[in-house]
Structure 1
Amino acid sequence: MMLLLICAAIGVLAGLMAGALGLGGGVVIVPPLIYLFHQQGFAPEVVAQMAVGTSLCTIIVTSVSSVRTHHLAGFVRWPLTLRLGVGIVVGALLGAVIADRLSGPMLTRLFGVFAVLVALQMLISGRRRRTPPPSGERLPGAAGLAAAGGVIGTVSSLFGIGGGSLTVPFLSWCRLPMQNAVAISAACGLPIAVAGSIGFVITGWHRAGLPDGAFGYVYPPAALAIVVTSFPMARVGARLSHQLPSATLKRIFSVILIVIGLELIFT
């Protein structure tokens, strides 16, 4: 019961951060799950993999709502999304295999490095002057999009994220309008979450040391508790974003994320 209550609190934080600052997935969910699973006495060699796999599972539900919203708004370019999606599915499965091959402490340290990099990117991007993007799209061919999707899917699955921090910058580099980049990124988050979750279930299915109730590296009780609270709190966070100083909140969260990342690296 204590684990469920703490996961519900994690869901509240994840929902608020997603709605107010556009953050979510592994960046918010994985670090507290690593600490929580350690405190619950889960085997240290599977804690990081379970945190990542469980995070991906929670993204499935939130992605469905996000994709529907962007689709109804008409910003999802489905042919382009499908070409990226081919590589994303393969990459997400590959990311689960790589995570399974890594030791728990190594994956924890890698996530710490990833968290620090995300935080630094948030700090730097907040200081950049916004300039209009160059006109004219420069999309690669089908093979190039599949390759880019493979990289995005692998990294996203490995760290339990929805891929927005990778997909949006890539599509912006391709000179797509930001509305399309965000919408396509949201649509790509669903195959990342589904394929990644399946990969973590399969690779962890016969792993020794898993707690009772685990499906491979996915822990459904924690995932359910997070989803139940994060889903409605995302709407609250979205409303708060119009009233709170988002730039200041991003800086504060970035500093906290750097501290957490460094602690994970040197644990």
Structure 2
Amino acid sequence: MMTLLTLQFAGYLSTGLLAGVLAGLFGVGGGIIIVPALLYLFHLDGINPVISMQLAAGTSLATIIFTSLSATWNHHQRHSVHWLMVRRYSPGMVIGVWLGAQLAAILESDDLAILFALFEIAVGLRMIIPTANHATPAAERANDPKVERLLPVSATATLIGTLSTLFGIGGGTMLVPALTLLSGLTIHQAIGTSSAIGAVLSLVGTTGMIQSGWENSALPPDTLGFVVPVAALGVILGTLITTPLGVKLAHVTEPQHLRKGFGILLLLVGIRLLW
């Protein structure tokens, strides 16, 4: 029994070690790796598949609180967090998180997993395929109210908050493209800013997932709503070790390489989830 528990915890810890690097490198909170890994580990543990996606999403959000805070601090020290954008996006994100938590309690786990995979593939392709950009420079666009009129920040943030909570991600998979393509930040600014917004999102999202799953009769023992504490602990320990490494790598990597690497990662994860 002790050996089994040790192996399970080792799986959670290993997931965190990889997710921490990705969180610092891409500003994604690590959820794109944590959720698929937890789905696999929960399957091995014999957890009811009816709620496995909800448990993976809720547990992932709990771990992202710490991952995002660690990444934000490291990026802030390198002056790559655009705090004005954090303030603009956060209110809408909170509303979206609440909506996502309510939907998670009523949607089927298999449907959520398929939607998550398709979402990863779509965003991955968007980041890989180059597009012509004749807009004003990033520094100007980041403070240009016209950008907000084209696609209001509040609406964008609400949508991102909803989907991020459903999928158990820190929002970086959508925030990084939004901050670069819509709000005009550089890729390094977008990654740092995404980490800060992700901290807000994951804190509120975790609370919502605990509340929405609290009385679910299909839950296994020793859970807090849709959060598995022992899994969260293992992942958190791993991410805290490797997130600073990811931040260092992000600041010595060419922006175009970061963008393509980010897209390829999302594409591979999405395809793997479908099969």
Q: Confirm or deny that 1:259 pairs with 2:271.
A: yes
Change (3 A) 1:109 1:84: same
Unaligned stretches of 5+ in structure 2? none
Map residues 1-267 of structure 1 onto 2, 5 A cutoff: 1=5, 2-20=7-25, 23-124=28-129, 128=130, 134-135=136-137, 136=140, 137=144, 138-140=146-148, 144-178=152-186, 179-238=188-247, 253=265, 256-263=268-275
Bigger mean CA deviation after superposition, 16-25 or 91-100: 16-25
Change (3 A) 1:17 1:144: closer
Q: C-alpha distance in 2, partners of 1:154/1:252? A: 24
Q: C-alpha distance in 2, partners of 1:77/1:255? A: 27
Change (3 A) 1:50 1:172: same
Q: TM-score, normalised by structure 1?
A: 0.83
Bigger mean CA deviation after superposition, 145-154 or 18-27: 18-27
Q: Is the 8 A contact 1:87 1:146 kept in 2?
A: yes
Q: C-alpha distance in 1, partners of 2:249/2:173? A: 22
Change (3 A) 1:144 1:210: same
Q: Is the 8 A contact 1:55 1:160 kept in 2?
A: yes
Q: C-alpha distance in 2, partners of 1:92/1:253? A: 25
* 1:69 Cα deviation after fit: 3.1
SS in 1 for 2:148: coil
Q: Is the 8 A contact 2:97 2:205 kept in 1?
A: yes
Q: C-alpha distance in 2, partners of 1:20/1:68? A: 14
Q: C-alpha distance in 1, partners of 2:183/2:34? A: 31
Q: C-alpha distance in 1, partners of 2:80/2:17? A: 28
* 1:34 Cα deviation after fit: 0.9
Q: C-alpha distance in 2, partners of 1:149/1:84? A: 5
Change (3 A) 1:28 1:148: same
* 1:74 Cα deviation after fit: 4.3
Q: C-alpha distance in 1, partners of 2:102/2:95? A: 11
Change (3 A) 1:130 1:19: farther
Q: C-alpha distance in 2, partners of 1:19/1:68? A: 10
Q: C-alpha distance in 1, partners of 2:263/2:192? A: 25
Question: Number of paired residues?
Answer: 259
Report sequence identity in percent: 34
* 1:7 Cα deviation after fit: 0.7
* 1:225 Cα deviation after fit: 0.2
SS in 2 for 1:177: coil
Q: Deviations over 1:81-118 (max 9, x none)?
A: 22321111110111111111101111122122223224
SS in 2 for 1:101: coil
CA RMSD of aligned residues (A): 3.0
Change (3 A) 1:156 1:35: same
Q: TM-score, normalised by structure 2?
A: 0.81
